Amino acid sequence: MARPARAAFVTLIASALCAGLVGSASAVPGSVQATEQAPPVLAPAAAKGVAPTAAGVGKALTTILKDPSLGTHRGIYVYDASRGKAVFSVGAATPYTPASTLKLLTTVSALATLGPDHRFTTRVVSSAPASGGAASIVLVGGGDPLLTIKPSARDGFPARATLQTLAAGTAKALKAQGVTSVTLGYDATLFTGPAINANWEANYVPEGIAAPTSALWVNEGRLTPGMAKRSSSPAQSAAVAFQKLLQQNGVKVAATVKPTKAPAGATSLALVKSPTVGQIVEYVNLHSDNDGAEVLLRQVGVATGNGGSYAGGVKGLRATLTKLGLDVSKARIYDGSGLTRSNKVPLDLLAGAVRVAASKDHPELRHLLTGLPVAAFNGSLAQRFSTAGTGTGTGVVRAKTGTLTGVHSLAGYALDRTGTLLVFAVASDSVPVPKTLDARAALDRATAALANCGC
């Protein structure tokens, strides 16, 4: 499937606004379909434009940061990625509740541990030899966060692996063996520990804000499209959907579908592969996908040898960030999505994820940059940068948003008017609820001021 025009245009914007980043970098190879082109990977930052000064940046930001809508605990950290040095900070001495800007730490860790070209595999294996026309098979989850039942125009980019394709492949393999009747089990044991993070608010899962995290699910555990009720057992729901698809493909399936552990070395009948980790990271950050982030956190735990629980994922995340040269000593991290208010993260660490992704030493992390929402254009910034004083950021600022009640943050980058690449993190976790829209507008003005800087 060709990359949709809208997604391609976003990539072109990234290339244009990051003139200081883009060089002759080659595209990341591979995709779900052989004909699909992956987005280009950005080259490292170059020393271009006027070198910003603390006094100049401070002058551009001081009035904005005094906006009372931001409450008492607000701050900003600005880093000159073109020259590799911190430029300005205020209110950055204490950590903040990051909300969804925490996803930057999760996704950069996923890119670093798994690699941008890695894919997650969902497979069906034989769990017992065929006998008398009957067999036992197991649907094995590989932790694909974007697995769906069947293709949908609503899905957009990237193209997703589907149970429909897997069922067709499985039925073909079974019929080639003369098997027309099976029992079906499912294996979601790649992830361990509680499926629901103990640090989340009690209403998150019942209200569809998040799902119980599983290594096997479809449509992120949703029972209907959108932010809606989730299955209490996403793995079983996926297996039941697969059961129906097998039956539609002419395979008789026993009525009872149970959890089971696939035997080691079991014969694979069919498989489907997820989009690349790079594409998944872009999707998660563009749409602020809580469920995708939680799956990636557990994948980091598995990849680092810390296990597939959320606790193991956090341990792996901290170790990975440390290897990338980021200081996590002052950070308290409890999930991968930023849903819990217990998270406390310094602004320089949030900006640090963007900084290392832009560095010459880590081209494998560039998808963190190309997937960030574009101000006033797409993703979680589509409806932002529409108030007075934000126009200079439109189409130029790219940032991950963070939003909880009383908490608002942005972390990303902008090319200023002289060509200097500025990385930033700006936040408040003390916003009076009636001032929510004013606070968001103030953060937009602050980052727009950076884009207009030649400070």
Domain residue ranges of the chain, discontinuous segments joined by +: 5-116+279-451, 121-274
| pLDDT value of position 45 | 53
| pLDDT value of position 455 | 84
| pLDDT value of position 7 | 39
Q: Average pLDDT for residues 55-59, to the nearest whole number? A: 94
Tell me: pLDDT of 131 over 90. Answer: no
Tell me: pLDDT of 265 over 90. Answer: no
Q: What is the CATH number of domain 121-274?
A: 3.50.80.20
Which CATH superfamily includes the segment(s) 5-116+279-451?
DD-peptidase/beta-lactamase superfamily (3.40.710.10)
Q: Which of 12-16, 143-147, 299-303, 398-402 has the lowest mean pLDDT?
A: 12-16
Tell me: pLDDT of 223 over 90. Answer: no
Tokens of 111: 């890119």
| pLDDT value of position 153 | 73
Tell me: pLDDT of 58 over 60. Answer: yes
Instruction: Please tell me the distance from the alpha carbon of residue 57 to that of residue 88, in angstroms, as a whole number.
Output: 7
Read off the pLDDT band of 162 (50, 70, 90).
very high
| pLDDT value of position 50 | 81
Percent of the chain with pLDDT over 70: 87
Q: Which of the two residues, 12 and 79, has the higher pLDDT score?
A: 79
Tell me: pLDDT of 429 over 70. Answer: yes
Burial of 209 (C-beta count, 10 Å sphere; 0-12/13-18/19+): middle
Tokens of 265: 């070395």
Instruction: Please tell me the distance from the alpha carbon of residue 403 to that of residue 408, in angstroms, as a whole number.
Output: 5
To the nearest whole number, what is the mean pLDDT of the chain? Answer: 89
Q: What is the pTM of this model?
A: 0.88
